[in-house]
Structure 1
Amino acid sequence: MQKRSNHQEALLVLEDGTVFKGLALGKIGTAGGEICFNTGMTGYQEIYTDPSYYGQVIVNTNSHIGNYGVQLETEEESNGVKISGMVCNFFSQIHSRHTADSSLQEYFEKSNIVGISGVDTRQIVRHIRDKGVMNCIISSEILDPAPLLDQLKAIPDMEGLELSSQVCTQRIYDLDSARPEFRVAVLDLGVKKSILTNLTDRGAHCRVFPATTPFEEIAAWNPDGYFISNGPGDPAAMPYAAETVRQALDTNKPLFGICLGHQVLSLASGLSTYKMHNGHRGLNHPVKNLITGRCEVTSQNHGFAVRAEDVMDHPDVELTHVNLNDKTIEGIRRKDKPAFSVQYHPEASPGPHDSRYLFDEFVGLIQQSK
């Protein structure tokens, strides 16, 4: 890959043959993945470093991207950029925030991220909303759609794809609290830093385990509770994680799952999941808490969901949260176990903090069980 010029052309080619022409951003090269769109007005660096986006090309619907640069210490949700590529309308080569460490362009160049700007993101979003999620490829070095369509065939479909083992930690590590009060074993399926911060801020000494760690090794640490993280890929393609959660449930210790962790808890409880026509990705999704009757504005990032009919038919699972846009399942809890989960991201980085009470509820369950 070579460095881009300010007027380097680029192509975005969708799986169905649709082609968009624009200008290159980031590294000059070719990259592909599943195309999806995020409607957030801010927080692009947190989005790009969220491991749940691994293998995906992000369309930012906000018209200006890059205008406030990047901060390496405070706004990264993992150890680097996890998206496969980026699509936007206007890409700013300069940034105005004086605390920024670099421009987004420099950040993408160092991270080997290929992108395209100068395209009508409204048209792209409408197209994939109508046609459904699909793979795509971006290139600023090949400007002929025909060979790009051939390369697209080699990109695997997200359905049936196991990715957590590729983005999770490869070694066990500890994160302590300033005032540690209890132990939480974190099954890392692609965890975000801000989720761990929300746990340690509440007195949790967290030990983070790789996704495929045998349950016996996790249980040997004798945690007070289990946390199952967010992450990328198809939950149905990772039976190892569902088995780990099944064994954790048998201990009757408190368990909390977020996003992919919610889906894995559902699978471990005998429910099933499915791939959505289009996922939920943004900062303003309305969710109703059926226990309190209150509505929450939530941050979301998922392309799979739990089947509603399975939840309704299960004698030991209670529906706790529902999406007010499309009535999909947003939260469940076990009636027979101290275990619950939500589909959205209560740490909300980026996003509103309406749902951070869920971390308090998890801590409350642990305190009750001790």
Structure 2
Amino acid sequence: VEAVDEVTMVPRFVESDRIQASALVVSEYSEDYSHWNAKMSLGNWLRKSGVPGVAGVDTRELTKIIRERGTMLARIKMDEIEPESPWVDPNQRNLVAEVATHGVRTFGPENDQTVPHLVIVDCGMKYNQLRSFLRRGLRVSVVPWDFNFADDIQYDGLFISNGPGDPQMAATTVNSLRKCLDGEKPIFGICLGHQLMALAGGFKTYKLKYGNRGHNQPCIDEFSGRCYITSQNHGFAVDASRPNCPPGWKPFFTNANDQTNEGLVHLSKPFFSVQFHPEACSGPHDTEYLFDLFMRLLDNSKIGVLDSLPITSLLMAKQDTVVKRVKKVILLGSGGLSIGQAGEFDYSGSQAIKALKEEGIRTVLINPNIATVQTSKGMADKVYFLPVTPDNVVKVAKNEKPDGILLTFGGQTALNCGIELHRQGIFKEMNIEVLGTPIEAILDTEYRDRFNQRLSEIDEPYAQSKACCTMEEVEDAGKTIGFPVILRAALALGGLGSGFADDM
């Protein structure tokens, strides 16, 4: 039984009410499954859903073919004697009509008229889009793609969801959207919703040779110049080139790889859209702020303030608060090492230095180890061969005056040093920003009680544990926790002295 999110009352771990893929092809498949939340194997889930799957295929070779020839039609043929079936191009079908909801559904505080009312047009919506709005306390009505939302429902804001296929197949949605664009109510679109808004606004769409897929698509914010890493899955794009951009609109984001359009914004009305998925459940979450931007537009719409602050002004304000130019960074190395030890710290730290230098950021390394890649000539701009201690970091910081500091590339020594500097208020006093993993996240993971508390807040299970100093305390802990238990000796390298106990 699928768990339900207690806040949103939406299924918690899936993005749709069924498997949407026509088939699954994998290189290798294991019959065994071990995920803590699994109720059945992948094969059984596919079988239950009536979706075919095939394993033992050279998927790397398939990838090479698609890479050279572009997106292709495909089918699974069971054997040579099976009769040939006709090729079917899914883009010739209205896929939106096949996957969208068929009725109107309501969520959130239904009777609270003080809360903004959002209408979501479901074109194949991912559940996390709905979750993202419900977590922000909205009243939500989800309507089908062909619902006359321009005339038959009152709302404070409109959201057009993602969905499959050619956007021109959803002409009914485009026609309703075109009426809404004549109004002043905020509108936000994601993925297919972006393409449908574009068509309604006078843009054209076209099919990409490959499509953009995956969790690492870089997109440039045209207002700030900042690059965001985004999650995408689409085969069509909007033509927003200068001669084809209708008056009143401006590109919002551009894909840094292929220069395709990744978002649009209206220059005077509260309308914007993005091609990527800011709500992607597995991340990245760099662009989730777009939901908060839309919330501000909704709040203004609810109280009738529509033209006091154009969306472009909000985006420029976002630029001022988000983009802070870092010019110099201190990176903390590890404690004293023997040659060959802790290669992961050396590798990750050296890669961090390279990445910072590529961005034009000066790097200052504190590392007492001479025989490492990090401390090699030509890596960091300046190296201090000093033990990684709070006193030494303060001395270096006073001399170098850095904008930021990285604490997570030197193992426990660097983490402990960073925690102590935080406790002393040094970072705040010297106006040094902790980059990468926030200090609060470090504290949460360093202290088991805090970590368990965070897990409890999101209803995640965790193993019971107890710190003991005497044999009596160990015996009491075993009785309280229950056998078997794992005993781990404190301050032991590599878990030496640890083991399992099945009984007293």
Q: Please tell me the TM-score bracket, short chain as reference.
A: 0.7 to 0.9
1:171 aligns with 103
Q: 1:304 to 1:311 in 2, by over 3 A?
A: farther
Match of 2:22 in 1: 84
Cα RMSD, aligned residues only: 2.1
Q: Give the whole-Å Cα distance in 1 for the aligned partners of 2:16 and 2:115.
A: 25
Gaps of 5+ in 2: 1-9, 304-504
> CA separation in 2, counterparts of 1:125 and 1:238?
30
Which of 228, 246, 260 is the equivalent residue of 2:178?
246
Task: Say whether the 8 Å CA contact 2:11–2:127 is kept in structure 1.
Answer: no
Cα pair 1:259 1:343 within 8 Å, conserved? yes
Q: Percent identity?
A: 38
Matched residue SS, 1:135 = coil
SS of equivalent to 1:265? helix
Equivalent residue, structure 2, for 1:206: 140
- How far is 1:152 from its partner? 4.0
Q: 2: CA distance between counterparts of 1:189 and 1:313?
A: 25
Superposed, 1:148-187 pairs within 5 Å as: 150-153=84-87, 155-158=88-91, 160-176=92-108, 181-187=115-121
Deviation sequence 1:66-114 (CA, Å, 0-9, x none): xxxxxx9532111111110011111121111232122111111101111
Shift of residue 145 of structure 1?
8.0
In structure 1, C-alpha distance between the alignment counterparts of 2:211 and 2:109, rounded to whole Å? 34
Q: Distance in 1 between matches of 2:41 and 2:90?
A: 32
Query: Is the 1:258–1:341 Cα contact (8 Å) retained in structure 2?
Result: yes
d(CA) in 2 for partners of 1:144, 1:202: 55
Amino acid at match of 1:156: D
Does the 8 Å contact 2:217/2:231 carry over to 1? Answer: yes
- Residue in structure 2 matching 1:272, options 204, 208, 214: 204
Q: 2:192 aligns with which of 260, 274, 287?
A: 260
Confirm or deny: 8 A CA contact 1:185 1:223 kept in the other structure: yes
Question: Aligned equivalents of 1:283 and 1:311: distance in 2?
Answer: 31
Tell me if 1:128 matches 2:60: no
- Give the TM-score normalised by structure 2: 0.55
Match of residue 80, structure 2, among 113, 127, 144 = 144
Higher strand share: 1
Match of 1:358 among 266, 273, 290: 290
Counterpart CA distance in 1 for 2:247 and 2:101 is: 36
Structure 1 residue aligned with 2:232: 300
User: 1:1-370 counterparts in 2 under 5 A?
Assistant: 73-139=11-77, 142-144=78-80, 147=83, 150-153=84-87, 155-158=88-91, 160-176=92-108, 181-216=115-150, 219-309=151-241, 313-369=245-301, 370=303
How much does 1:171 deviate?
A: 0.8
* In 1, Cα distance between equivalents of 2:296 and 2:138: 12
Most deviating of 289-298 and 184-193: 289-298
Inter-partner Cα distance in structure 1 for 2:269 and 2:11: 38
Change in Cα spacing, 1:99 to 1:237, as seen in structure 2 (3 Å) is closer
What secondary structure does 2:85 align onto?
Answer: helix
1:156: Cα distance to partner?
A: 2.6
Q: What is the deviation of 1:262?
A: 0.1
Say which one has the larger Rg.
2
Amino acid at match of 1:234: D
Alpha carbons of structure 1 residues 286 and 145: separation in structure 2 relative to 1, 3 Å: farther
**Structure 2 vs 1, CA of residues 145 and 254 (structure 1 numbering), >3 Å: closer, same or farther?**
farther
* Aligned mates of 1:92, 1:351 — CA distance in 2: 26
Relative contact order higher in (CA < 8 Å, ≥ 6 apart): 1
- Letter of the 1:135 counterpart: L
Per the alignment, in what secondary structure is the counterpart of residue 138 of structure 1? coil
Q: Give the drift of 1:220.
A: 4.0
What does residue 385 of structure 2 align with?
none
Residue 296 of structure 1, CA deviation: 1.2
Structure 1 residue runs without a partner (length 5+): 1-71
For 1:114 and 1:163, the matched residues in 2 are separated by: 19
CA contact (8 A) 2:190 2:276 kept: yes
3-state SS, counterpart of residue 130 of structure 2: helix
Matched-pair contact (CA < 8 Å) for 1:283–1:298: yes
Secondary structure of the structure 1 residue equivalent to 2:155: coil
Secondary structure of 1:125's aligned partner? helix
More off after superposition, 319-328 vs 176-185? 176-185
Count of aligned positions = 292
Q: Secondary structure at the match of 1:171?
A: coil
Deviations 1:305-326 (A, max 9, x none): 0013267532211011011111
1-structure distance, mates of 2:242, 2:75: 36
Q: Distance in 2 between matches of 1:323 and 1:230?
A: 18
Q: Following the alignment from structure 1 to structure 2, what is the Cα–Cα distance between the partners of residues 311 and 198?
A: 36
Which amino acid is the alignment partner of residue 191 of structure 1?
M
Does the residue aligned with 2:296 lie in a helix, a strand or coil?
helix
- Relative to its length, the structure with more helix (as a share) is 2
Q: 1:168 to 1:310 in 2, by over 3 A?
A: farther
2:43 and 2:53 in contact (8 A); partners too: no
Secondary structure of 1:300 counterpart: strand
Question: Per-residue deviation at 1:177?
Answer: 5.1
Change (3 A) 1:361 1:166: same
Partner of 1:58: none
